[in-house]
């Protein structure tokens, strides 16, 4: 059953749903962080939001064909638990690996240089932390697209041909660790307190769910500064000119500043995936990037637009060589 997408109710729900779900997640996180078991209660909130998103994916999908099974549900969940939960799998703490890392590492690694503005209201500290962490996340994400040595791990995330809430955390463990390191180390060095890490983890978790959701939401002005489903669908496009854009994890301010923001005035892409091929099983997907043969399978053929550019560049180079050789022949 789906809503009629021409109704006024549909339009209202479509406009309000993204901020409503995001605020609900942050509200639940607030009460979780006030408890003595903040990671446990955060995950109760997280899985509740997953259930809500899954329901609305059925009621008002952006792309109806994405409701069909692709046979990757088990692998998606397994990668989520491994890359986002680590040793907490048994406790069902599936997406709070960055929080858990911060809980242990922050007291050990944070130095007291009095750089961090701890006197600021917590909300402002979180915003500052998001901007700083986002640069590391942006850098890690962009490097993973521009260097094949990193793309072979990141390609697992892009190998899906549909976006929905369950494949939000489909990341290779190496890819996740790389992003966590670049996103969190600057905050450790600046001496950010633990609550900042926890709140950044919460924001990242819920924006991650919402960017991947297959819900027909209208995000309007939110697209200017937040990572939204519309922007992320462009990022998953098979076309490099569209896919190598919108690297922001939570915010797109660094995309705006560094020229990788992409949001043309037309429906965002549903033709997503990669030119290569990842292995079928979970364990095979984990080990595939470490072998030369596996990396070659993942990378696959060069996209047509890259081949066209290379052919054009080769033709221009040949033309220049011909032009430089011609006077020599005449003078001889």
Predicted confidence at residue 67, as pLDDT, reads: 84
* 3-state SS, residue 96: coil
Check whether 117 has a pLDDT greater than 60.
yes
> What pLDDT digit, counting tens, does each position of 56-113 carry?
999 999 999 888 876 666 766 666 655 554 433 333 333 445 555 555 555 555 555 5
> What pLDDT digit, counting tens, does each position of 220-229 carry?
999 999 999 9
What is the average per-residue pLDDT within 288-315?
76
Predicted confidence at residue 84, as pLDDT, reads: 53
DSSP state of 35: S
Q: Percentage helix, strand, coil, to 5, in the chain?
A: 70, 0, 30
CA distances (Å), 325 to each of 17, 65, 232, 314, 316, in order?
65, 57, 49, 16, 14
Q: Where are the domains of the chain?
A: 8-322
Q: Which residue has the tokens 């994916």?
A: 57
Distance (Å, whole) CA 248 – CA 263: 13
* pTM metric for this prediction: 0.81
Distance (Å, whole) CA 118 – CA 318: 61
* Sequence-ordered list of residues with C-beta below 8 angstroms from that of 259, at least 6 positions apart, any chain: none
Which pLDDT band holds residue 322 (cuts at 50, 70, 90)? low
Q: Give the tokens for residue 7.
A: 């109704």
Contact indicator for 141, 250 with CB cutoff of 8 Å = no
């Amino acid at each position: 059953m789906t809503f009629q997408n021409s109704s006024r109710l549909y339009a209202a729900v479509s406009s309000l749903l993204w901020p409503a779900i995001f605020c609900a997640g942050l509200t639940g996180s607030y009460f979780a962080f006030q408890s003595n078991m903040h990671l446990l209660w955060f995950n109760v909130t997280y899985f509740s939001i997953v259930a809500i998103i899954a329901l609305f994916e059925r009621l008002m999908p952006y792309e109806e064909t994405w409701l069909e099974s692709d046979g990757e549900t088990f692998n998606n969940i397994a990668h989520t638990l491994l890359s986002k939960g680590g040793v907490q799998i048994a406790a069902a703490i599936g997406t709070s690996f960055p929080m858990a890392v911060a809980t242990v590492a922050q007291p050990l690694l944070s130095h007291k240089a009095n750089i961090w503005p701890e006197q600021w209201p917590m909300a402002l500290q979180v915003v500052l932390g998001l901007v700083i962490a986002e640069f590391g996340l942006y850098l890690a994400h962009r490097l993973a697209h521009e260097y094949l040595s990193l793309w072979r791990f990141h390609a697992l995330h892009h190998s899906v041909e549909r976006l929905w809430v369950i494949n939000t955390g489909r990341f290779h463990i190496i890819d996740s660790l790389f992003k966590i390191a670049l996103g969190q180390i600057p905050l450790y060095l600046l001496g950010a307190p633990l609550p900042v890490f926890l709140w950044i983890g919460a924001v990242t978790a819920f924006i991650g769910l919402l960017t991947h959701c297959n819900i027909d939401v209208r995000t309007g002005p939110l697209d200017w500064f937040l990572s939204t489903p519309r922007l992320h669908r462009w990022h998953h496009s098979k076309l490099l000119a569209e896919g190598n854009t919108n690297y922001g994890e939570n915010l797109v301010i660094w995309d705006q500043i560094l020229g990788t923001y992409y949001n043309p005035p037309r429906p965002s892409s549903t033709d997503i995936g990669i030119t290569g091929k990842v292995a079928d099983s979970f364990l095979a997907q984990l080990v595939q990037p470490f072998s030369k043969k596996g990396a070659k399978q993942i990378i696959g053929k060069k996209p047509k637009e890259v081949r066209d550019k290379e052919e054009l560049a080769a033709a221009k180079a040949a033309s220049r060589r011909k032009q430089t050789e011609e006077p020599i022949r005449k003078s001889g």
